[in-house]
A and B are shown apart, each in its own frame.
Chain A
Amino acid sequence: KAGVTQTPRYLIKTRGQQVTLSCSPISGHRSVSWYQQTPGQGLQFLFEYFSETQRNKGNFPGRFSGRQFSNSRSEMNVSTLELGDSALYLCASSYTGHEQFFGPGTRLTVL
Chain B
Amino acid sequence: TQLLEQSPQFLSIQEGENLTVYCNSSSVFSSLQWYRQEPGEGPVLLVTVVTGGEVKKLKRLTFQFGDARKDSSLHITAAQPGDTGLYLCAVSINAGGTSYGKLTFGQGTILTVHP
Q: Which residues of A contact B (CB under 8 A)?
A: 4, 31-33, 35, 42-43, 45, 48-50, 55-56, 58, 90, 92, 94, 96-105, 107
Question: Do residues A100 and B45 form an inter-chain contact, with CB atoms below 8 A?
Answer: yes
Question: Do residues A45 and B40 form an inter-chain contact, with CB atoms below 8 A?
Answer: no
Q: Which residues of chain A come closer than 8 Å to B43, judged between CB atoms?
A: 43, 90, 102
Is the CB of B25 closer than 8 A to any CB of chain A?
Answer: no
How many residues belonging to B are interface residues under a CB distance threshold of 8 Å?
26
Query: A4, A42, A90, A96: which contacts B100 (Cβ < 8 A)?
Result: A96
Q: Which residues of B contact A (CB under 8 A)?
A: 31, 33, 35, 40-45, 48, 88, 90, 92, 95-96, 98-108
Do A50 and B101 form a contact, CB below 8 Å, given A99-B33, A104-B40? yes
Q: Which residues of chain B come closer than 8 Å to A97, judged between CB atoms?
A: 92, 99-101
Do A31 and B101 form a contact, CB below 8 Å, given A92-B42, A99-B33? yes
**Minimal beta-carbon separation of B45 from chain A (angstroms):** 6
Question: Do residues B103 and A33 form an inter-chain contact, with CB atoms below 8 A?
Answer: yes
